[in-house]
Structure 1
Amino acid sequence: MPQLEVDGAALTYDDEGPHDGGGVPLVFVHGWTANRRRWDHQAAHFAVRRRVIRLDLRGHGESGGAGVKTVAELAGDLIALLDHLGVRRCVLVGHSMGGMIAQTVALSHPERVERMVLVNSIGRMAYSRGRGLLMGASTLVPFKVFVAANIRRAFAPGYPKDEIRAYVEASAGTPREVVMTLYGAMRAFDVLDRAGEIQAPTLMIHGYHDIQLPVRQMLRMAMAYPDAVVRIIDAGHELPVEKPAELTAAIDAFVTDKPA
């Protein structure tokens, strides 16, 4: 896989599909403790006819590096990758923390974002009581227990337990420093008061059963956006893998202006 060195970290990425025609590139950004493979279904669908870029964020997946302390720093890594690839304008698709990164880019570099898709993401972190208790217990329980508790509750009831275990194991492979530092970074994330500045047409697509970042928080964000479309799907927080076909179809309809 190709890599780009940014501030001492080797960032692994995929750059697939035709580089001419088919519209501006789609850039997929995964969430906390995940990796670029979360977008396998979407990449396979879109790369047939348009350029698709996805990366492992610093300290995640096959990317190196640690020490990142804010969502803005991760957004800086993304901009560095887009500069390296010569991408001046794109459709940004971000899941959870990836959606926070996308919003940060849309605010700091609005000329780079043609459209934006926020998947199970919000503009201001407001922990539920359960998430707050997990945060408080984060230093009192073994690291793998903390990660497992967060990942298991991300899926809607009834999702196959074997598959959840596989995601728990993958997430636990993310370095502890990265996991805990970015947990704090998400807690500090807040761009809700600036949401009105984001002019890019935005699709906000959320899982009805998301207890990590509840629907009501997303709806509060949607009301502040000048140009937002909201879609609710019968799933939890992990829409890219819980309902991949539905998510792909919704993104496709949005980026091509087709009826959903």
Structure 2
Amino acid sequence: MTVELNYHDAGGDGTPLLVVHGLLGSADNWRSHVKQWQERRRVVAVDLRNHGRSPHVAGMSYREMAQDLLALMDRLGIERAHLLGHSMGGKVVVTLARLAPERVASLIVADIAPQAYGHGHDAVFAGLRRLAEGRPANRREADALLSEHVEERATRLFLATNLQRGETGELELRIGLEQIEDGYEEIMQAPAGQGAFDGPTLVLRGGNSHYVTDDMLPALREVLPQAEIKTLEGAGHWLHAEQPEAFQAAVNDFLRTLDS
């Protein structure tokens, strides 16, 4: 069963750009980029299931998340779109491209390869559980609770974007943490579907990230044979936040070649 995803829809004409966040992110994380892209085209930024303001449901498979996106495209009357996905969102858009290539004008995959990855979020989940139990009154208290498990301040600030003020006045998580944890094994898997997506593709990777290494590229090209690989030096996994101008320029240059 598909989920009616929350989304932000802005901009004007042309083939829309559909923006899909990564694990524990949301459409809100992309506001500054969307503001610039919408000057040139229609941009739809989504909250995946169990993220942002979208419903909390069981199941985090890539097939399910891709079907949610296809249902949203149908709802919005979008026949074809450029799809941009970061991290987990990158696997979602690769899955959609495999399942319904006729709906995809191009793919932009940010710092993820179409393969399975090992577990690496134990501390993050522990910090989020502590946050949920602690019910902090303000963001200073929230950061203190998170810091019991998550050392990196940048990661804590990112995780804190999932907080909202509850009815009691305390801060609470808006994500479906239980559903995400239950589906974590699925999230770590390779994208769903079979075969290759043969359309225009840009793969952006952070120069300081280990998510798309050189030894992964032969297997990546089996799934994305038309992929142009671009490395953003000085960026880690959150390359769109760490090198926003370079990220924006790379996406704009790629889309410009397809619009001309």
TM-score normalised by the shorter chain: which range applies?
A: 0.7 to 0.9
Describe the shift of the 1:182–1:243 C-alpha distance in structure 2 as closer, same or farther (beyond 3 A).
farther
Alpha-carbon distance, 1:218 to partner = 4.9
Alpha-carbon distance, 1:222 to partner = 3.7
2:236 counterpart letter in structure 1 = G
Greater C-alpha Rg: 2
Q: Determine if the alignment matches structure 1 residue 181 to structure 2 residue 182.
A: yes
Contact 1:42–1:248 (CA under 8 A) maintained in structure 2 = yes
5 Å-filtered alignment, 1:221-240, equals 221-224=219-222, 225-233=224-232, 234-240=234-240
Describe the shift of the 1:182–1:242 C-alpha distance in structure 2 as closer, same or farther (beyond 3 A).
farther
Compute the TM-score of the two structures, normalised by the length of structure 1.
0.78
Contact 1:118–1:204 (CA under 8 A) maintained in structure 2 = yes
Distance 2:193 2:73 in 1: 25
Alpha-carbon distance, 1:176 to partner = 2.0
Alpha-carbon distance, 1:34 to partner = 0.5
Gaps of 5+ in 1: 1-5, 156-160
Contact 1:122–1:217 (CA under 8 A) maintained in structure 2 = no
Gaps of 5+ in 2: 133-145, 164-172
5 Å-filtered alignment, 1:48-197, equals 48-127=39-118, 131=119, 143-144=128-129, 161=153, 163-171=154-162, 173=173, 174-190=175-191, 194=195, 197=196
Distance 2:107 2:226 in 1: 10
Describe the shift of the 1:81–1:217 C-alpha distance in structure 2 as closer, same or farther (beyond 3 A).
farther
- CA offsets 1:67-109 (integer angstroms, 9 cap, x no match): 1231110101000000001101110000001010100010000
Q: How many percent of aligned residue pairs carry the same amino acid?
A: 29
Q: Counterpart in 1 of 2:166?
A: none
- CA offsets 1:102-142 (integer angstroms, 9 cap, x no match): 00010000001111100011111132xxx45x55x899x56
Q: Determine if the alignment matches structure 1 residue 43 to structure 2 residue 34.
A: yes
> Of 22, 28, 31, which residue of structure 1 is paired with 2:22?
31
Distance 1:214 1:226 in 2: 15
Compute the TM-score of the two structures, normalised by the length of structure 2.
0.78
Q: Determine if the alignment matches structure 1 residue 255 to structure 2 residue 249.
A: no
Q: Counterpart in 2 of 1:246?
A: 246
Distance 2:130 2:213 in 1: 26
Distance 2:189 2:131 in 1: 19
- CA offsets 1:14-36 (integer angstroms, 9 cap, x no match): 11001x3xx31000001111000
Aligned residues: 232
Describe the shift of the 1:45–1:13 C-alpha distance in structure 2 as closer, same or farther (beyond 3 A).
same
1:64 counterpart letter in structure 2 = P
Q: Counterpart in 2 of 1:3?
A: none
